[in-house]
Amino acid sequence: MRKNIVAGNWKMNNDLAQTQEIIADLKKQMSGEPAATVMVAPTYTNLYPAFEALKDTPVIVAAQNMHQEANGAFTGEISAAMLKSVGVETVILGHSERRAQFKESNELLAKKVDVALENEMTVIFCFGEELEDRKAEKHFDLVESQLKESLYHLSKESWKNIILAYEPVWAIGTGETASPEQAQEMHAFIRKSVADKFGSEIADEVSILYGGSCKPGNAKEIFANEDVDGGLIGGASLKAEDFLAIVNSF
């Protein structure tokens, strides 16, 4: 049975005190077993305090990025081993903001995925099309090439540590959201592509999250789709109440 997962990406928000505050709110407001696996991704400086504060809860702490090299002269960068040394075993790779603003290519992301997996980490791999790709009806081809170029060299065994996160980039920070039908259509396409390459057993097991302005008001409709296994949540994960409302939308 594949897992339902809701992951909050706090992006470059929240200093230490604010991180501690939202974690305290999450702990206070979470009652019993959450309806899905819950993850939060604070910025680098807050990973260790978040890990310490959440280690007695089911909430998993993830990083928002990592470098593909093990160490060396890469000023400002963080390696997989450094993340692991502070208890972080899950990493978001290829978020649309990193692809757009930091020019992360499919090729670079393939290297980052390999390094994360070599370090026995779980990867939340993000990909998705821009508005012009969709308007030109190239969105399926584009998404499949992102998967092929960054993930289709992996072994079948590796897929147990891969979570996919489809981001319709045109629905991030624009006030737009993909309709539940658009989300299901793309998620079904993604699952079929994985099945064609790696077999239906792997495709049926991989969680595919939706990431595109998912919020308490639309999560239920989006998550109700057969091939949507949760969400990668941006802005709406910055308030414990909203984030938990999304978690409880299953």
Residue nearest to ligand 3PY (CB): 234
One residue of 129, 167, 229, 242 binding ligand 3PY per CB under 6 A: 167
Binding part of the chain for ligand 3PY, among 50-58, 156-164, 184-192, 209-217 by CB under 6 A, reads 209-217
Binding part of the chain for ligand 3PY, among 47-55, 58-66, 220-228, 231-239 by CB under 6 A, reads 231-239
One residue of 8, 42, 94, 211 binding ligand 3PY per CB under 6 A: 211
Q: Is 212 in the site for ligand 3PY (CB under 6 A)?
A: yes
Q: How far is the CB of 14 from ligand 3PY (least distance, A)?
A: 15
Backbone angles phi and psi of 16, in degrees to 5: -60, -45
Q: How far is the CB of 63 from ligand 3PY (least distance, A)?
A: 15
Q: Is 235 in the site for ligand 3PY (CB under 6 A)?
A: yes
Binding site for ligand 3PY (CB under 6 A): 9, 167, 172, 211-213, 232, 234-235
